Amino acid sequence: MVPFDFEPRTRIVFARGAVQRVGHLASGLDFHRVLLVADRGMVKAGHVAAVTKSLEDQRIDVLPYHHFAENPDTAMIEAGRKFAEPLRVDSIVALGGGSSLDCAKGINFVLTNGGSMHDYRGYGKARTPLLPTIGIPTTAGTGSEAQSYAVISDATTHMKMACGDPSAAVRIALLDPELTLTAPRHVTAMAGFDAIAHAVETAVTIRRTPLSDTFSHRAWQLLGDGFERVLLYPADIEGRAAMLLGAHFAGTAIEQSMLGAAHACANPLTARYNITHGLALAILLPHVVRWNAQIATERYAALMGSPRRRARDEDAAEALARRLEDFARVGGLAMTLSDGGVDEAAIPELAAQAAAQWTGTFNPRPFDAEGAVEIYRAAL
């Protein structure tokens, strides 16, 4: 048997139009002065106005903060702390894609515990509990609202740091598929592929448990059903709901089983070539699945819905890799590393950086710089 310890810390409210209930939910948690962390796109889309109104209707003060960008870094977190410190907020609402949720968590760490993000690298380093937070994702992607980790880049090296604490988990995840309708097509595709990569990688890690498998497999089904649907019919609310819930479940799986070689290899590409996270995963993941095949075929077969397939059925990994390539094509993400400007000569250095990523240590096939070279070469 594989033991596990799972303590749900987050209430999940999943409904069409659920965003209108944020004021009531915040009031129930005794929020009085809220730091509303939302990227500028959320203002334009009208989501900030909707959330502000719902909170103010409950006589909750709203202090909005928008000064950050994609892949929030340590400098943006420090700016957020400086902004928030004199405001004496008692709570946070994080609204937007993964960047908004990570930024809100990052600010929460340094606002409540001082120091810099580097002090919280790893897990459980906060001495005082973080401020209670409501997380409202507007893309189906990172599933950050299901996790107690903030992923923050170092402003100098651009490498990602995972900073976790039990109290960094949001109190309520508000999942309203209507909010995802305004995402541009390429955002829907890249965020969606990220979520798919979470389902696939969590399903095979060395840390996976029967519980994480439950979330990985259900996430894969929901995302597999929804991905092509929302790209072909952007207004399909059932497809949007499947994607949002699938991304959340995949995020829950990460919390239990961590990720693997595709995320380890993707991070240096984002840091050095500015290749968006979801796009980097679309380039790499099919090759990682083939590279893992000798160890993980049976688990890939189970993910694909054939629990009775055995390791000798070598087709499962190849079938999965092809399905992932189909997803990338439909999403306009079918690319090679060369298309992304990566030169063969850069591979040894990228591989050294990939091998240093914590996340790679959970990959089912032992992953090191040599393995990273093989994966990058295959994706070139």
In whole angstroms, the minimum distance from the beta carbon of 367 to Zn ion comes to: 16
Residue showing the smallest CB distance to Zn ion in the complex: 194
- Residues with Cβ within 8 Å of 348's Cβ and at least 6 positions away in sequence, in order, are 369, 373
Nearer to Zn ion, 180 or 202 (CB): 202
Among the candidate windows 79-87, 173-181, 188-196, 332-340, which touches Zn ion by CB under 5 A? 188-196
At 201 the three-state DSSP class reads helix
Q: At closest approach, how far in Å is the CB of 350 from Zn ion? A: 18
If the CB atoms of residues 201 and 298 are measured against Zn ion, the closer one turns out to be 201
Taking the CA atoms of residue 8, residue 14, residue 18 and residue 23 in that order, the dihedral angle to the nearest 10 degrees is: -10
Nearer to Zn ion, 76 or 190 (CB): 190
Site string for Zn ion, 4-33 (x = CB under 5 A): ------------------------------
Number of residues that bind Zn ion (CB under 5 A): 1
CB of 56 to Zn ion, least distance (A): 34
Please choose, out of 159-167, 190-198, 347-355, 371-379, the segment that lies near Zn ion by the rule CB under 5 A.
190-198
Instruction: State how far the Cα of 256 lies from the Cα of 250, in Å rounded to an integer.
Output: 10
| Nearest to Zn ion of 23, 98 (CB atom) | 98
Q: Report the distance separating Cα 331 and Cα 318, nearest Å.
A: 20
DSSP class per residue in 74-123:
HHHHHHHHHHHGGG--SEEEEEESHHHHHHHHHHHHHHHH-S-GGGGBEE
The nearer residue to Zn ion, 39 or 194, going by C-beta atoms, is 194
Q: How far is CA 229 from CA 37, 138, 224, in A?
A: 30, 18, 9
Say what angle helices 315-330 and 210-232 make with each other, to 10 degrees.
Answer: 40
Nearer to Zn ion, 22 or 266 (CB): 266
Which of 39, 102, 145, 194 is in the footprint of Zn ion by CB under 5 A?
194
Q: Which range of residues in 46-54, 80-88, 191-199, 330-338 is near Zn ion by CB under 5 A?
A: 191-199
Strand spans (E) along the chain? 11-14, 33-38, 61-65, 91-96, 122-123, 133-137, 149-153, 160-164, 172-175
- Taking the complex as a whole, the smallest distance from the CB of residue 277 to Zn ion amounts, in Å, to 6
Q: How many CB atoms lie within 10 A of CB 365?
A: 16
Residue 344: HSE in the Cβ half-sphere, 13 Å Cα cutoff = 3
| Furthest CA-CA distance within the chain | 63
Span of 69-77, 86-94, 189-197, 326-334 interacting with Zn ion by CB under 5 A: 189-197
| Residue 165 binds Zn ion (CB under 5 A) | no
CA angle 200, 188, 160 (to 5 degrees): 60
Burial label, 127 (beta-carbon count in 10 A; 0-12, 13-18, 19+): exposed
Window contacting Zn ion (CB under 5 A); options: 96-104, 113-121, 171-179, 186-194: 186-194
* Shortest distance (Å) from residue 253 CB to Zn ion: 12
Closest CB 151 distance from Zn ion, rounded Å: 8
At closest approach, how far in Å is the CB of 264 from Zn ion?
A: 11
- Please say which residue, 160 or 240, places its beta carbon nearer to Zn ion: 160
Choose between 178 and 194: whose C-beta lies nearer to Zn ion: 194
CA atoms 277, 353, 288, 205: torsion sign: negative
Residues engaged in binding Zn ion (CB under 5 A): 194
